Amino acid sequence: MSDCCSNGTYDLAVIGAGSAGFSAAITAADSGARVALIGYGTIGGTCVNVGCVPSKALIRATEALHASSAAKRFNGIEVTSRLTSWSDVVRQKQQLVDELRGVKYADLLPSYENVDYIEGQASFGKDGALFVDGTAFAATKIVIATGTRPSIPSINGIKDVPYLTSTTALEQETLPSSMLVIGAGYIGVELAQIFARAGVDVTLVSRRGVLPEAEPEIGAALAGYLSDEGISIVSGISYDRIAKHKDGVELIVFEDGSPRTIVADKVLLATGRTPNIESLNLQNKGVVLNDVGGIKVDKQMRSSANDVFAAGDVTGEDQFVYMAAYGAKIAAKSAMGLETRAYDNMAMPAVVFSDPQVASVGLTEAQAQESGFSVKTSILTLENVPRALAARDTRGVIKLVANAQNGILLGAHILAPEGADSIQTAAMAIKCHMTYQELADMIFPYLTTVEGLKLAAQTFDMDVKKLSCCAG
């Protein structure tokens, strides 16, 4: 490891020391390249520090709190639980974050002798040369993997109120009495449920409804389940302004043309993420941005500058840690001239860790139609899945999207308590261009959630209510 720029030219400079940055650096190092990994701020990036790991740790913790009320669905069972110290919950979460940051990131660096870790802020000078903390830095190729940060919505007055983001909310050791969550995408949904289960009075506000990018049947069903847990949902609105209030903050929205005021102790902004590019001075290098404000890349992760590649959330696309690592491998290999492998997200699974979980892969019905397919769909509620009946938890729906002309699966969308563990089966089916008939004919284990995929596939052509157990 190094604290300053080394003499000589590196084969590859990787800007950003998160999951994408590490993946690119390790991939290049394994090929024998001399690599500079340039980090700025906390090593490890979003996922381990402020994203996946801390949020999922708190989701699991609050699931335990929710278990007492959920157990009531079983006769003869009574369970009680209570929160004794939210600060202890948050500190335990932080211990896990600190441990994984070391094991999965900082402690790995000494294993790679040809990777120098350099702490500093990278930028491009007026002649397009790379600088780190103002000092010229020589590298043949560059991979940018600087990630994203929480977006701040353009609501009047937002800069004048104290707000939480997905980062700072997970660090709060004291729970507010009430919370206003602005944004009902996957971040807003997960955080709203965490705090509601911890005892906070939560209002979830969104212009387009819960999970607006998901299948409408799934978004609507999840909204109902969140409401059942006491989360107030306000959607189909436009924002007027936000301001301080004697009880915290007040948000004024227009709902059906009429103003509505929502007051809460705290406000949490969950309106997406913004690529970290400002300090790079990309215009000096001629790096072009895409329509979502990220670095525009081709299928080999090349930017508009011949010697610059980009991967991960900074591209503004497919903002999942596994896709960041996947894209970064391609970027590093492309930069090193090792292969021309193309980035392929056709069978990219995505999960929202709500309860029930939302898992999807491939195209939605609307996306398939927009792509020119003649579309055929099946929709199966969990009342038809034996696993759900045995668990006495039939919250959820499974929707499959297929090409009506040849039956090939185009998309799979699951809302179920264990939906995340089933989506990879659908991803493999789509990757292999299976038809829904072939999926329906496969052998699935009985009394599993994943069996719902078989039943949903059968639903294209038959009424599964008329099947006996295990038939098919």
Task: Write out pLDDT tens, residues 22-50.
Answer: 999 999 999 999 999 999 989 999 999 99
Domain membership flag for residue 235: yes
Average pLDDT over residues 293-316: 98
Distances (CA, A) of 226 to 175, 194, 202, 354: 19, 11, 10, 9
Domain membership flag for residue 71: no
Domain membership flag for residue 377: yes
The CATH number of residue 38's host domain is 3.50.50.60
Is there a contact between 79 and 50 (Cβ–Cβ < 8 Å)?
no
Domain membership flag for residue 293: yes
Domain membership flag for residue 82: no
Which amino acid appears at position 402 of this protein?
Answer: A
User: 199 and 331: one domain?
Assistant: no
User: 38 and 120: one domain?
Assistant: yes
With a cut of 80, say whether residue 82 has pLDDT above it.
yes
Task: Write out the E strands in 70-211.
Answer: 115-119, 122-124, 130-132, 135-136, 139-144, 148-150, 164-165, 178-182, 201-206
Domain membership flag for residue 99: no
Domain membership flag for residue 77: no
User: 142 and 167: one domain?
Assistant: no
User: 142 and 287: one domain?
Assistant: yes
The CATH number of residue 377's host domain is 3.30.390.30
The total domain count for the chain is 3
Average pLDDT over residues 161-175: 97
User: 389 and 421: one domain?
Assistant: yes
Phi, psi of 128 (to 5 degrees): 85, 0
Q: What is the per-residue pLDDT across 249-297, written as a single tens digit (0 to 9) for each?
A: 999 999 999 999 999 999 999 999 999 999 999 999 999 999 999 999 9
First and final C-alpha spacing in the chain: 59
Give the range of the structural domain holding residue 208, as residue numbers without chain letter. Answer: 158-271
User: 247 and 323: one domain?
Assistant: no
Instruction: Classify the phi-psi angles of 443: left when phi > 0, otherwise alpha if psi is within -120 to 50, otherwise beta.
Output: beta
pLDDT class for 145, splitting at 50, 70, 90? very high
User: 363 and 448: one domain?
Assistant: yes
pLDDT class for 463, splitting at 50, 70, 90? confident
Looking at residue 282, what is its pLDDT? Answer: 98
pLDDT class for 470, splitting at 50, 70, 90? low
User: 221 and 285: one domain?
Assistant: no
Domain membership flag for residue 186: yes
pLDDT class for 6, splitting at 50, 70, 90? very low
